[in-house]
Structure 1
Amino acid sequence: MTQSDEIETLVRQRIRALRIARGWSLDDLADRCFFSASTLSRMETGHRRIGLDQLMVLARELGTSIDQLVEPEDDEDVVIRPVRDESQGRTTWSLTRDQGQHGLKVVRMRLTQPPARAEDGDLPVHPGRDWLTVLSGTLLLVLGDRTIRIEAGQAAEFSTMVPHSFGSEGGPAEVIMMLDQEGERTHRRDL
């Protein structure tokens, strides 16, 4: 089977699955698309090729896009293979491909050094909020003049308009962070 045949089969399966998920019969979708039910049936079963003009109509009526209908299916659409980025005593793994639905990026971070302090220089400030949960170890979060200890199993949320930094205490600490767009830009630059 060629890649073209595989994609065509996948498109047919997706059209049928979307139709059924909406609770539509062949007649229901055919009426919406101005096809006959037998034409639609032959398209779904592979007894008739689907033309681009027909695919456009089907995508619109099914509430999807042609891109989503023809997108190849492989592990890459499910499995994220993190890339290590080691610097300044931190290892980070991006756990999302792109900014999420609400503009958030999820990052796993392993910290091995203590946080920067205000007396060490300027701490970053940026619009937005950061959210994190500590998976293992102890995280020290410096917020302005305060140092807050966050243990494994605990979480924190804070305004990033307060000068801040974070690092580990007494050994490595692993955290999962959700960063908004400004937070990602700032923390990725620091790494």
Structure 2
Amino acid sequence: MDDRAEDVLAGVGPRLRALRRTRGITLSALAAETGLTTSTLSRLETGKLRPTLEQLLPLARAYGVPLDDLVAAPPTGDPRIHLRPVRRSGLTIIPLTRRAGGVQAYKVIYPPAGQAASKTLKTHDGYEWFYVLNGSVTFVLGEQVFQLGIGEAAEFDTRTPHWIGSAGDQAAELLTLFGVQGERAQLSPGGFRNAHP
């Protein structure tokens, strides 16, 4: 066990004693409430006994506090995602998830229309959902062409030939969910208008 874990465990006893005294409970009354013996409780409070989960859970219930409060658990690791943007074919792709498999999330920035790569339709396995965060895009799906603006979304099978590009003179930003195995987002397509009836 490392020094940090030892320090956490060493602090449990004084916290238990302080909680019991603050609430004005005797060891006997606490033993009756938790099912632990008075001897066990005394040894936990003095640090002569290393606490186990089976001992701490009834104590947390008796005191009405989260288990983390009893052990003063150190904070968990940094939850922020620090993934680097990737630049490909004029696009800036920022991964927002870091787990393998399943649906992946990305923020994709499409350059202004005049700087976009050629409108070559592509196909690949998977299913994609995107939401326009900023700007507007032209979305080609098979023989249909759609214009989508801020707040609009689309969902499609990526085996259908498709192309997405900025529709204006500013970059377009999209939130994209992509599933390689064809997982679908739970949101329905809608709200976008067909540019060529």
Under TM normalisation by the shorter chain, which class is it?
Answer: 0.5 to 0.7
Runs (4+) of structure 1 exceeding 2 A deviation are 1-12, 36-48, 71-75, 113-117, 181-184
Tell me which structure has the larger Cα radius of gyration. Answer: 2
- Residue number in structure 2 paired with 1:109: 108
The change in CA–CA distance for 1:2 and 1:157 in structure 2 (over 3 A counts) is: same
Q: Structure 2: how far apart are the matches of 1:11 and 1:116?
A: 64
> Which runs of 5 or more structure 1 residues have no equivalent in the other structure?
13-25, 59-70, 185-191
> Which runs of 5 or more structure 2 residues have no equivalent in the other structure?
14-29, 56-72, 184-197
* Number of aligned positions between the proteins: 147
Is the 8 Å Cα contact of residues 90 and 109 (structure 1) preserved in structure 2?
Answer: yes
Q: Verify: 1:94 aligned to 2:95, yes or no.
A: yes
Q: Structure 2: how far apart are the matches of 1:10 and 1:164?
A: 60
Is the 8 Å Cα contact of residues 131 and 157 (structure 1) preserved in structure 2?
Answer: yes
Q: Verify: 1:140 aligned to 2:138, yes or no.
A: yes
The change in CA–CA distance for 1:178 and 1:7 in structure 2 (over 3 A counts) is: farther
- Residue number in structure 2 paired with 1:73: 75
Equivalences for residues 113-124 of structure 1 within 5 A? 113-114=115-116, 116-117=118-119, 120=120, 123-124=122-123
> What is the root-mean-square deviation of aligned Cα atoms in Å?
4.3
Q: Structure 2: how far apart are the matches of 1:97 and 1:11?
A: 35
The change in CA–CA distance for 1:4 and 1:130 in structure 2 (over 3 A counts) is: same
Structure number with the higher helix fraction is 1
The change in CA–CA distance for 1:5 and 1:109 in structure 2 (over 3 A counts) is: farther
Is the 8 Å Cα contact of residues 138 and 150 (structure 1) preserved in structure 2?
Answer: yes
Identity level (%) = 30
**SS where residue 149 of structure 1 aligns?**
strand
How far residue 8 of structure 1 moved from its aligned partner, in angstroms, is 4.7
**SS where residue 82 of structure 1 aligns?**
coil
Equivalences for residues 26-65 of structure 1 within 5 A? 36=36, 39=40, 48-50=49-51, 54=52
